[in-house]
Amino acid sequence: MLGEGIIKGMVETARNFLGSYVREDRLTTVQYPEEREPQIENARQFPFLVYDGEDWETGLRCVACQICEKECPPQCIYIVKSKDKKPDYKGQMQFYPAIFDIDLSVCMSCQICVEVCPFEAIKMDTDYEWSTPDRFAALLVHKDQLARPNAYYQQLHPTDAAASDAVLAQERARAQAKARAAAELKTKAAAPPPTS
């Protein structure tokens, strides 16, 4: 009969209404600033730059290759390459970013910059409390605010960090092996040919 469904619906909403006063578990709302839910490991909010060692300025992994700048869909990364070079984790001389800015108001947390970076230099942070009273300058995040130690990355995303550390270790080992081979070759070349 007409109206049956309406009555059923009204009963259901009445049960919700009354039930929410009786049973706490019906209310799934998290009272945010006081209560927080732990974030899942793969949560991603905003990129940060990883550095090795103690000093963030010398330790930044980023080599200012500008791939992320070109790939970022909303074009919110701005990089200026340095004039000089500094040694990277392999000891190879590389450029570094003189300026590395990300516009927080434009970034859409897509993680594409992370995917394209060949140097494991940019990763996603899980911190989401970036609100500021200033709409413009404060939302342009600079290099010094972006830099985070590798330990922080390991703590945020243990699985990813382990994988990326392994990749870097492998690279480093290969570079060292190559250097050793080159050195051996050199010593071999330098050594007088064996007399027969």
Choose from other proteins, ligand SF4, none: what does 28 bind? Cβ within 5-8 Å by kind: other proteins
* Residue linked to tokens 């594409």: 112
104 near ligand SF4, rule: CB under 6 A: no
Six-digit token string for 89: 């984790």
111 near ligand SF4, rule: CB under 6 A: yes
137 near other proteins, rule: CB under 8 A: no
Exposure class string for 23-48: b at 16+ Cβ within 10 A, else e: eeeeeeeeeeeeeeeeeeeeebbbbb
* Residue linked to tokens 């990300």: 102
d(CA 156, CA 42): 9
Footprint of other proteins on 23-62 (CB under 8 A): 26-29, 31
Six-digit token string for 15: 């049960």
In 3D, which of 61, 137, 140 has the Cα closest to residue 96? 61
CB of 55 to ligand SF4, least distance (A): 18
74 near ligand SF4, rule: CB under 6 A: yes
Specify whether the CB–CB gap between 119 and 168 falls below 8 A.
no
Q: Which is nearer to ligand SF4, 76 or 161 (CB)?
A: 76
Binding stretches for other proteins (CB under 8 A): 1-3, 6, 9-10, 12-14, 16-17, 19-21, 26-29, 31
Binding stretches for ligand SF4 (CB under 6 A): 47, 62-68, 72-74, 76-77, 79, 102, 107-113, 117, 119, 121-122
